[in-house]
Every structure is written in structure tokens, then in C-alpha cells.
Amino acid sequence: MPKVLISDKMDPKAAQIFRERGVEVDEITGKTPDELKAIIGQYDGLAIRSSTKVTKDILAHATNLKVVGRAGIGVDNVDIPAASAQGVVVMNTPFGNSITTAEHAIALMFALARQLPEADASTQGGKWEKNRFMGVELTSKTLGLIGAGNIGSIVADRALGLKMKVVAYDPFLTPERALEMGVEKVTLDDLLARADFITLHTPLTEQTRNILSAENLAKTKKGVRIINCARGGLIDEAALKQGLDSGHIGGAALDVFVTEPAKESPLFGTPNFISTPHLGASTNEAQVNVAIQVAEQMADYLVTGGITNALNVPSLSAEEAPKLKPYMALAEKLGSLVGQLAHGGIARISVHSEGAAAELNQKPIVSAVLAGFLRVHSDTVNMVNAPFLAKDKGIEVREVRTEREGDYHTLVRVSVKTSDGERSVVGTLFGNEAPRLVELFGIKVEADLDGPMLYVVNEDAPGFIGRLGTTLGEAGVNIATFHLGRRSAGGEAVVLLSLDEVVSAELLATVKALPGVKTAMGLKF
């Protein structure tokens, strides 16, 4: 039974769903990195929010880990390249808390416009400072949206409902989408110059880090109010403090900080500054949504192999997974076969699906070929990290599909381009489920690729099969199945034997020395 650790506070629905789906679950929150390292090795899945930092070091101790599930959106607390290299799927729940976070941004915009926290503190402090708190109306003001994705577009929708004008800067926003959203697509400089309020809704990337730098803050309209419910690091906090102190910036509300938890900051206590402790996603509704979604996605992956909302592998629905399973087994065996047989540097791997195979999602089939191919040299390769490793090794990967059927109703052909030229192996599914090799380097030969095998290329001549059988028999090696193929009568022939044990180096040398043998090799599946 797969086992999952929930390491951040999560709605109880998550644990309930894991249990209902046959996944064992432990909820242990608040662990230090060292404490997490000590226990992470027992788990197949790790369910987190933003507190747990899934670093390379933690991953190195996560020897059984198959999936990290983020109950939320941002995955900047997960070292995705390290997870990918280790074959760990990283998934998030991209929509579950979007409305809630957008509402928090709107709430902070109102709070800034009417100085609600300060007015509240003053009133409850017995002051009744009616003349101190003069606010601004939102109606007709311009809201500058930096990042017009899921949350940004909900914020825009709500702001338009408040009769604001919305201008948006997002390099990936198409004019059609801007029109549909009812916003004006502008450049960043234009937004900075025109906005009365600015709200940030981008991930933290190398392009967005300090997008509100000292230089850009200086380009804003005097009195601008700024809201950040996205990620700390999008605003230069020191420059923000200066802008608030000088009065150029009329107010700022931060839900997120460069360093979290933010227990101290030069911004704290600054007039017109409001902060919340990363509460953007903290509503019952959002937390139930993300808890249910993350548990369902992780359980799907661990139990059925279905992949949804993964950031480092293509999606694979729970419906597709069973259909693809035998193809992935076939693809992995074919990849392994070429990996074991092909010599010289591999410049390219092509995966060509024909007939029924061509109607399926090709990405998992290609990943399985690469996993089989690369696992010949490393036990830690799987479908998740194989495409990354292939890229690292400079192997070009091609995907071709032909929907018409040939001699077989379904076929997968794997070709590798080596320094010796292009070589292909071809396989089908027998009875729609059993992987079977049908062609090896241009020679028709049917074989199940299973267990230890012996591969021999020889000159097709009478008596050879008998001599080979006798040699194995004399060495006490039992032959389970015998498969033959030849290019032409008297030409090059191939023998593939399934054996009950691995061929020893000594026996291999004896086989190689038999008359007519061109090459012989032990294979393993």
C-alpha cells in the first residue's frame, strides 16, 4: 500500500481521501528539515503547502518518493529540477484557491483605500479620529494588473464590477484575451504611469523578481497604492519602505514577503502599510478545494498511474492510464532492447506509433522508451526523469505517428541514430496486452522480451541451431523459448533465446567462438 506524508496543515478531507483510495497517510506538520530528512525515506508521496521546503537535500533522503503534491498554486518551495532528475512527479492544484486569493487582493485594496486597519486600531483604542481617516473611492480609478493569469483575471473581473478601469501588463496576454477580460493591455511603463492601484499576480521568476524595483517604483503615479498577494520578491521591500516614507507611495498591502515567516521587517509600523501572514489562500472553501484535489491527484498517480496537473511530466488521465499501461511496458522493453544492443553515441531516438498505438497520448509512450533506453546505464531512471536526462545527454527525441494500420493493428517502432547508422526495433501488443517484439534491426523475429535472454547474430547455415542448443545444454543452461529470424536464406540470421538464468561471461565466450557466430550478447528485461 503506498504511503503519503502530509507535512503542512491541510484540511482533514485530504487524509480522508487518501484512506478511501487505499493510501496510508501520516500527518506530521512543523518538522525541521533535519527531522523531515529522517522520516521522508518511508514515503511514496509528500503532500505540502508553502511551509515545507522540498530542497535537493530533502529529496536526496526521499529514496521512495514518487510524487510531491502541492495543495495550492506556487511551487517555488519545491526544487523541481532536482525532483525531475530524481524521477519525482511534482503536481499542484492550479485553480482551487484562485477565487479566494483574488478576493484577498480586493479586500486589501479596500483596506488601503479606506485605511481600515489603522481606523480600526484607532477606534478600538478609544480615539474616534473621524477627521484623520480620509479615504479614496475605487470607482473610476485605474487598477494596474501585473500578471493576468487565473488570479489576475478574477481580480480584473471583480474590479470591473467596482467600476474601475483595468490596465494589464502580461507579456503572455493575447489581445483577444484582453478584450474578453475587458482590460486594456499595456506596457509595464504605461501601467506604472497610469495606475492608481497596482496589484501583482505573477509567479516569482528571474523576469519578475523585483519587477517593482526602486527604478520602477519611481515611475509610478504619486500616491499609488500597491497590493502583493502573489510572491515576496516581486517588490523591492527596501525601496517600498522608502517610497512609503517619502509619501510617493500612498499605501502598500503585502500578504507575501521575501523572507517568510516574516516575523520582523523594516516595513512593520510604517504608516499606510498593511500586512497579512500569507493568508491569500486561507478560506475554508479554498482549503477544502485544494485538499480534496491534491489528495485525489496524488492517490490517482500512486494507485492507477494517472497524472493530473503535474509540472514536470505530461498529464495522463486515470481513464487513459490503463489503456496506456501495456504500451508503456512495450515501449520500455523496446527502449531497453535498443539501449542494450546499440553501440556508439546516440544522436537521436525516434518513436513511431502505427495503428491503434497512434491514437493514444504519445508523450508517456516516448517517456517509457527513453526510460527503458537510459535505464540500461542507470537504475535511477524512470519515466519522469528520462526526458530530462535524454536532453542533458544531447539526444534528439522524435515522435511520429501513422494512424493507418499495416500488417499489425498496433505497432511501436523505436529507431536510434548511432555513429553506425539508423537501427530499429519494432513491437506490438499480442491480444492487446502482451508486449511482443516483431522486428529486430530489419529482421522479422517474434519474441517476448522477458527475463534473461541470449542474442546471437550468425550466418544462416545448417547445424548451427543444434550446436548452439548443445553448447547451452552442456553448460547446464535451460532454454525457455527459442526465436529465430533471418534476413534471407543463407544470409544474416538472428537468434533470441529466453533462458532460465543469466549467461555467464565464460558461456558467452564459448558461444561467440562457435562457427558462424558474428556477435553474441546477454540481454536482461
Ligand X SMILES: O=C(O)[C@H](O)COP(=O)(O)O
Ligand Y SMILES: NC(=O)c1ccc[n+]([C@@H]2O[C@H](COP(=O)([O-])OP(=O)(O)OC[C@H]3O[C@@H](n4cnc5c(N)ncnc54)[C@H](O)[C@@H]3O)[C@@H](O)[C@H]2O)c1
What secondary structure letter does DSSP report for 255?
S
CB of 282 to ligand Y, least distance (A): 7
Amino acid at 317: S
Reading the block at residue 392, the C-alpha cell is: 542533458
Amino acid at 212: L
SS3 207: coil
Among 25, 183, 186, 230, binds ligand Y (CB under 6 A): 230
213 binds, among ligand Y, ligand X, none (CB under 5 to 8 A by kind): none
Burial pattern 338-348, b for ≥16 Cβ within 10 A else e, equals bbbbbeeebee
Which is nearer to ligand Y, 50 or 362 (by Cβ)? 50
Which is nearer to ligand X, 257 or 464 (by Cβ)? 257
Is residue 280 near ligand X by the rule CB under 6 A? yes
- Whether the bond between 117 and the residue before it is cis, its omega within 30 degrees of 0, is no
CB of 95 to ligand X, least distance (A): 10
What secondary structure letter does DSSP report for 502?
P
Is residue 49 near ligand X by the rule CB under 6 A? yes
Euclidean distance between CA atoms 248 and 253, whole angstroms: 15
In the set 21, 70, 104, 231, the catalytic residue is 231
CB of 94 to ligand X, least distance (A): 9
Residues present in the chain in total: 525
Phi/psi for 107 (5° steps) reads -60, -40
- CB atoms under 10 Å from CB of 222, counted, come to 10
Is residue 150 near ligand Y by the rule CB under 6 A? yes
49 binds, among ligand X, ligand Y, none (CB under 5 to 8 A by kind): ligand X
CB of 170 to ligand X, least distance (A): 18
Q: What pairs with residue 493 in β-bridges?
A: 458, 486
CB of 204 to ligand X, least distance (A): 10
- Give alpha helix (H) positions in 29-173: 33-40, 56-61, 80-85, 98-113, 116-124, 150-161
Question: Crossing angle, helix 320-341 and helix 362-375, to 10 degrees?
Answer: 30
Residue 114 catalytic? no
Residues 268-297 touching ligand Y, rule: CB under 6 A, are 278, 280-281
Stretch in the footprint of ligand Y (CB under 6 A) among 13-21, 149-157, 308-316, 487-495: 149-157
- Please compute Rg for the chain using Cα positions: 31
Phi/psi for 265 (5° steps) reads -165, 140
418 binds, among ligand X, ligand Y, none (CB under 5 to 8 A by kind): none
Among 141, 165, 278, 417, binds ligand X (CB under 6 A): 278
Q: Which residue has the cell 541451431?
A: 465
Stretch in the footprint of ligand Y (CB under 6 A) among 163-171, 215-223, 322-330, 462-470: 163-171
Q: What element of type H or E holds 216?
A: helix 214-218
Euclidean distance between CA atoms 276 and 290, whole angstroms: 21
- Give alpha helix (H) positions in 114-209: 116-124, 150-161, 175-181, 188-194
Measured CA angle at 9 (ends 286, 54), to 5 deg = 105
* Residue at shortest CB range from ligand Y: 149
* Residue at shortest CB range from ligand X: 72
Among 13, 47, 50, 105, binds ligand X (CB under 6 A): 50
SS3 376: coil
Is residue 97 near ligand Y by the rule CB under 6 A? yes
In the set 260, 320, 399, 446, the catalytic residue is 260
Question: Crossing angle, helix 98-113 and helix 150-161, to 10 degrees?
Answer: 50
Which is nearer to ligand X, 115 or 293 (by Cβ)? 293
Residue 88 CA, distance from chain mean position: 8
Residue 16's closest CA among 288, 301, 282? 288
In the set 104, 201, 225, 278, the catalytic residue is 278
Is residue 231 near ligand Y by the rule CB under 6 A? yes
The number of residues that bind ligand X (CB under 6 A) is: 10
Which is nearer to ligand Y, 273 or 464 (by Cβ)? 273
Binding mask 62-101 for ligand X (x = CB under 6 A): ----------xxx----------------------x----
Is residue 170 near ligand Y by the rule CB under 6 A? yes
CB of 105 to ligand Y, least distance (A): 8
Residue 201 catalytic? no
Is residue 151 near ligand Y by the rule CB under 6 A? yes
Residue 260 catalytic? yes
Stretch in the footprint of ligand Y (CB under 6 A) among 90-98, 312-320, 496-504, 514-522: 90-98
CB of 194 to ligand Y, least distance (A): 16
Binding mask 65-84 for ligand Y (x = CB under 6 A): --------xx----------
Q: Strand 273-275 to strand 197-200: parallel, antiparallel, or no bridges (unpaired)?
A: unpaired
Q: Strand 346-355 to strand 410-418: parallel, antiparallel, or no bridges (unpaired)?
A: antiparallel
Residues 248-267 touching ligand Y, rule: CB under 6 A, are 255-256
Q: How far apart are the first and last CA of the chain?
A: 25
- Which residues are identified as catalytic? 231, 260, 278
Question: Which residues form the interface with ligand X (CB under 6 A)?
Answer: 49-50, 72-74, 97, 278, 280-282
Question: Which residues form the interface with ligand Y (CB under 6 A)?
Answer: 73-74, 94, 97-98, 101, 146-152, 169-172, 201-203, 205, 207-208, 229-231, 255-256, 278, 280-281
